[in-house]
Amino acid sequence: MTMLANDMLTTVRQGLSQQVRGRRGRTTDPAWANRMLLLKADEKLSERGQHRLAGVFAADDPTGSLQVAWQIKEQLRTLLNTGSLEAAAAAKTALADLVERAAMPEANRLYRTVCRWWAEIEVLIVTGATTAKVEANNTAIKHIKRTARGYRNPDNYKSRILLRSAARMAA
């Protein structure tokens, strides 16, 4: 979900650059130069980083849409880091208010995705369980598949995957 929020923020930043300047961002543009700062978690920003971020919003965000998109991203992160369902419901309400005030298609799409996945988000909040290990294994298997192009026998391919998994577990 955080990745989707970051993608939403990037899309807004790029669209704002096209709207204001009629071109892609350049290193001289504050929003482009500090694009990684926009994606960083608020609590991980240093005082200097917060000052630079405020400068980006002041200098390169005449419509205020970039700042609102950043606030939506941070509110989604707050929602995902809550410890109870009540706090998550309150954070979801705050997110809905931000999205409604923003009136941006990118934010609406993100909120629809949150609503669609709400049952899974509740499970994450209650249990703290994620699919990270499964996703990591799937990525490793895909990497093996890319590098093992010569395997025509499915049993050899399966053996290669199992050997790679065993080597990762032993290390």
Residue 150 amino acid letter: G
List, for residues 3-32, the tens digit of each pLDDT value: 999 999 999 999 988 888 888 888 888 888
Residue by residue, what is the 3-state secondary structure of the chain?
CHHHHHHHHHHHHHHHHHHHHCCCCCCCCHHHHCHHHHHCCHHHCCHHHHHHHHHHHHHHCCCCHHHHHHHHHHHHHHHHCCCCHHHHHHHHHHHHHHHHHHCCHHHHHHHHHHHHCHHHHHHHHHHCCCCHHHHHHHHHHHHHHHHCCCCCCHHHHHHHHHHHHHHHHHC
List, for residues 59-71, the tens digit of each pLDDT value: 888 889 999 999 9
Q: Do 144 and 137 form a contact (C-beta atoms < 8 A)?
A: no
- For 57, the token pair is 């919003």
List, for residues 142-153, the tens digit of each pLDDT value: 887 777 666 778
The pLDDT value given to residue 154: 80
Q: Nearest 5°: CA angle at 92, between 91 and 93?
A: 90
Beta-carbon-side half-sphere exposure of residue 135 (alpha carbons within 13 Å): 4
Note the pTM of the prediction, 2 decimals.
0.77
Query: Sorting pLDDT into bands at 50, 70 and 90, what band is 164?
Result: confident
The pLDDT value given to residue 19: 87
